Amino acid sequence: MREFVALLKRPIDAAVRPVVRVLRLKLGLSPDQLTWASFVVSAAGAVPIVRHHVIAGLVIVFVGQLLDGLDGRMAREFGLASTRGQRLDDVLDRSAEGILFAAFAAGGYASWSAVGLAFAAVLLVTSIGHRSGIDPGVKRFALYFGPWLGFPVVFAAVFWIHLAAYVVGLLVLDCRFQLRMDALGGDLDTVASRAAAEEVAERRAG
């Protein structure tokens, strides 16, 4: 799977690179500005969705996703990647998804409870995603299948996939912590507190 993704990534990167360079060198845009633009465009997709023009809304969401794919690439291409930028990207991505998901509930395409729980599951994955490295990445993308599968099915899939990913993510972090404890050794009755203290010290040290 990884090889397949890498295989796809190369031609996409090659195609996107000139666009990123034009946006940065000719128009002087920053990755953060692209992140904000992606948020505004994606959130704007909520308006036609609430008014029952789903396809139009999804087209706007798609444009927002294209912009979302450019900010990270620009940051890497020009050495502008930062934790702050990553955090902004996360916050605005989740905000856009929150607005879009709410639009589907407000438009009557799915129940508020299904949409709310799907969004909660997405937030759970985000809360540990950077540490566990597990994020299924099926959020806005899943919405494109709505017109064919029905939006209740889409939100159910988003919920279950993210809930499962969250549990797996927790277990991945547990396994890493277990390796830390095993490496520490010594008195097993106090190994958890010693490993926790070590982890805290490492995080403080940066």
Partner 1 sequence: MTIITHALITTLGVQALGLHGEDVVLAYAFGVGVDADHLLKAPFYLRAVGLQNKKDYYWRSSLQEPVALLWIVPLCLWLRTYVPALFFLIHITLDYLVRYEKMPFYPYSPMVTRGWLVRIPDKVKEAVLVVVLICANLWLFLSVR
Nearer to partner 1, 3 or 187 (CB): 187
C-alpha distance from residue 160 to each of 123, 131, 147, 157 (Å): 13, 21, 20, 5
181 binds partner 1, rule: CB under 8 A:
yes
168 binds partner 1, rule: CB under 8 A:
no
CB of 189 to partner 1, least distance (A): 5
DSSP 8-state symbol, 143: H
Token code pair at residue 154: 């889409």
Three-point CA angle 110, 112, 116, nearest 5°: 110
Q: Rule CB under 8 A: choose which of 179, 204, 205, 206 binds partner 1.
A: 179
DSSP three-state, residue 109: coil
Residue 93 · residue 36 · CB < 8 Å: no
CB of 108 to partner 1, least distance (A): 20
Q: Rule CB under 8 A: choose which of 101, 174, 205, 206 binds partner 1.
A: 174
202 binds partner 1, rule: CB under 8 A:
no
Please tell me the distance from the alpha carbon of residue 120 to that of residue 162, in angstroms, as a whole number.
9
Nearer to partner 1, 12 or 123 (CB): 123
How many of the chain's residues bind partner 1 (CB under 8 A)? 35
Look up tokens 């809360």; give the residue.
127
Q: Rule CB under 8 A: choose which of 19, 127, 137, 147 binds partner 1.
A: 127
177 binds partner 1, rule: CB under 8 A:
yes
Q: Rule CB under 8 A: choose which of 63, 117, 138, 153 binds partner 1.
A: 117
CB of 174 to partner 1, least distance (A): 4
Residues that bind partner 1 in the complex, under the rule CB under 8 A:
113-114, 117, 120-121, 124, 127-128, 131, 159, 163, 166-167, 170-171, 173-175, 177-179, 181-182, 185, 187-193, 196-197, 199-200
